[in-house]
Amino acid sequence: MSAILPPARRIWWKQPVDKVEIVWIAIAFIWCMVMFFMMPYWHVYGKQNLSNETYRVKPEQFSRAAEEMVAKYTVRTETDEKIPVVKPPVGSDVFLIARLWAWWPILELEQGKTYRLHLTAMDYQHGFSLQPENINIQVVPGYEHVVTVTPNRAGTYAIVCNEFCGIGHHKMVTKLYVK
């Protein structure tokens, strides 16, 4: 038989399988099983992935909650756009809004304290990337993503949009302060 001519028998699955093919199929199956069981293992024991919650939300409702938080806990403003810096109480719900091409407001959290961070996008899909910690979450309009965070190191962190969201995407950066 050659590569140009079709096989003499049309029923290929009734042909005998070579030993080398069986070895490669076995290796591939074993590797698939290793990867299948390692994903939940690393999630639970290795703490490699965030355990977050996601809910449907109306943008007006989320925006109202964020504005109420900002009105209560603003400590100062920063940047030329006068973006409020919010220092919420320990254990509270903290709201962060993504919209073309900014994060609102700037957050100031306490080291070693736990917060529930609520994220949503008001217009397009954005990406929440906390650097240098390498925490990545896709932020989708109409959905509220809730992540429980406990900052363990003081410093200034960068929040970057890592999903291309238009011509001003490169400017969608803000700060997160941990004191």
- For 23, 28, 109, 179, the CA distances from 34, given in Å and listed in that order, are 17, 10, 39, 42
Q: Residue with structure tokens 């409020």? A: 84
Give the three-state DSSP class for 15. coil
- Taking residues 117-135, report their average pLDDT: 90
- Range in 40-49, 74-83, 163-172 with the lowest mean pLDDT: 40-49
The span from the CA of 162 to the CA of 136, in Å, is 8
Enter the tokens of residue 126: 């954005």
What pLDDT is attached to residue 9?
Answer: 66
**Model pTM above 0.95:** no
Determine what percent of the chain is predicted with pLDDT higher than 90.
61
Confidence of residue 44 (pLDDT cuts 50, 70, 90): confident
Please compute the mean of the pLDDT values over residues 111-126 and round it to a whole number. Answer: 93
pLDDT tens-place string over residues 1-18: 566 776 666 677 777 888
Nearest to 73 by CA among 18, 110, 28, 120: 110
81 or 127: which carries more pLDDT confidence?
127
pLDDT of residue 4: 75
Helix or strand holding residue 53 (H, E): strand 53-56
